[in-house]
Amino acid sequence: MPDFFSFINSVLWGSVMIYLLFGAGCWFTFRTGFVQFRYIRQFGKSLKNSIHPQPGGLTSFQSLCTSLAARVGSGNLAGVALAITTGGPRAVFWMWVAAFIGMATSFAECSLAQLYKERDVNGQFRGGPAWYMARGLGMRWMGVLFAVFLLIAYGIIFSGVQANAVARALSFSFDFPPLVTGIILAVFALLAITRGLHGVARLMQGFVPLMAIIWVLTSMVICVINIGQLPHVIWSIFESAFGWQEAAGGAAGYTLSQAITNGFQRSMFSNEAGMGSTPNAAAAAASWPPHPAAQGIVQMIGIFIDTLVICTASAMLILLAGNDTTYMPLEGIQLIQKAMRVLMGSWGAEFVTLVVILFAFSSIVANYIYAENNLFFLRLNTPKAIWCLRICTFATVIGGTLLSLPLMWQLADIIMACGNDSNLLIVFYVQIMPDDLVMQLHRF
């Protein structure tokens, strides 16, 4: 069975997803006039505006923190380690490329979510890909199909991936039983998700910035301590990015392809650009200024923070540790724990364990909120259906701690590819947003 999933994964990512992601990102970049570069100077202003409360929805900052909670999970630690293990330092470069391209994709899908959102019976804004498939195209059947995909991915599979990372981290540092880890994590996650959308958003607006700052500041301090090695690490990323070293040996094509694939996979799993997940949080916001593009810009900031700041911080730690970790037979989170032991001493692995618990917990909770949002689209937002989803999430968190790491990532990659295909094709078909909105964007 693992071989079957590996085959499906290689077909989807080797023959379809890389070209679709790159092509979609480039098309959205040109279509929006290089929005991710033109509006970098607006990031500060957009963040300032994002804290202003508006009636009928979350603040833009709460929406950003909720989407960051889902993005900033174990993928920022275990995923980066996995990318470097399989693709080398060059994978970091392609993660950056995927992030910059993905910013335009995220802008498009989040602006579209704002455009086609609607209010539920409680007056809360609801929206996402399922809504713009139904309301923008009049194809409710496709919205239903996407909503089911998202329920499986975010209500079940991805929560198991996060739990797996926590279990491995605790096992590596403290020899803690994975099953006990799963039960404890599932209980705390259940307590959080019963607070609902507004409760989770209020929790995440304080929780997410704190955990991100802790990790990034720690990485910066370690980089300063090891500043003599930093130029070599940065050079190794760019030097190996295009496979020049392997060209003489005839292996350049394979190694470069592997690095690009892993870089795009891990970047996408981390920042979720094009997957159709972030629009569920973006649509819940009552943005200021009241324009769909406002939330699109705010969500671009999320990708910048997630991949270009947090993932880069993780990559620098692994590469600074050098050969002491790169070639060890470790998987995912255990590799970055070993790197921190090399750089910080015996307590380094324990520190990573604490961070991955925070990251994974926030991601599990936000993933559930995405899944619950789509129950509203499916008109299954009854107490019974909501509790069934909560129980499924609870069980998946426990089960995820007992499965192997490669199997969990393969399942995540397959589900991610399926959801991404349908979402991007629909966004293409809808032409991102009406032409008048594009014209307004240039004056925004």
Task: Please give the CATH number for the structural domain made up of 2-441.
Answer: 1.20.1740.10
Query: What pLDDT, on the 0 to 100 scale, is given for residue 439?
Result: 55
Quote the percentage of the chain above a pLDDT of 90: 20
Mean pLDDT of the 268-279 span: 79
Query: What pLDDT, on the 0 to 100 scale, is given for residue 248?
Result: 45
Comparing 243-257, 267-281, 309-323, 407-421, the range with the smallest average pLDDT is 243-257
The SS3 call for residue 13 is helix
**Residue ranges of the domains in the chain?**
2-441
φ, ψ of residue 117 to 5 degrees: the values are -70, 165
- Residue 433: is its pLDDT beyond 60? no
Q: Which are the contacts of 230, defined by CB distance < 8 A and separation ≥ 6?
A: 223, 316, 320
> Which residues make beta-bridge pairs with 346?
none
- The reply to whether the predicted model has a pTM over 0.95 is no
* CA pseudo-torsion sign 423, 25, 359, 204: negative
Query: What pLDDT, on the 0 to 100 scale, is given for residue 409?
Result: 67
Q: Which are the contacts of 344, defined by CB distance < 8 A and separation ≥ 6?
A: 222, 351
Q: How many Cα atoms are found within 13 Å in the side-chain-facing hemisphere of 318? A: 33
- Residue 432: is its pLDDT beyond 50? no
